[in-house]
Structure 1
């Protein structure tokens, strides 16, 4: 997603938004970080319910606007763990322990 598309998504969501602005700002944060980590890592950082909630607030599907694997995916512990997973969606559901993580590393 290029910068113009990113700003367009944020502007559209902001114009339409009504309610507690902290919810929208968190959704924008997910989108911003997801640009560099990719949608697969994003699904392992956030719960599926949270991703769905934020997608509704942003009027997007993260699988449509984020890369599958971002250039910083392996900076995330979840991104590193993806290499060991045969079934991604089982990991997302929490059926494979030790994969979901919000932590990043220096390398």
Structure 2
């Protein structure tokens, strides 16, 4: 179940208070969390490697993205990777790296149209 914004901000505030290390890593972890509110944890798992997800979870002090983010966010349809996988059974194969060429951070405001 996705957390509400005040709870998300609590996670961010705690992470900022407790953080030791390079600020670019903290910034990236917070960015993943904030974007994940709109795109969902499935899209975040398609644009980040499992290693990166684990690093960000540790920085944020959370155990699992599924505990804090929606499964599929309201903007997931804008993700090229999500559109390729939506409705298929290949999601976890892509996450595990068994299928290549799908992961992409690319999103489009109007899917299917190029500027």
Residues 28-86 of structure 1: per-residue CA shift (max 9 Å, x gap): 00101111110011000000100000000001121110000000001010111122531
SS at match of 2:86: helix
Query: Which of the residues 80, 84, 89 maps onto 1:86?
Result: 89
Question: Which structure: greater helix fraction?
Answer: 1
Gaps of 5+ in 2: 111-115
Runs of 4+ with >3 A deviation: none
Contact 1:27–1:58 (CA under 8 A) maintained in structure 2: yes
How many residue pairs match? The answer is 107
What is the Cα-based RMSD across aligned positions, in Å?
Answer: 1.2
Gaps of 5+ in 1: none
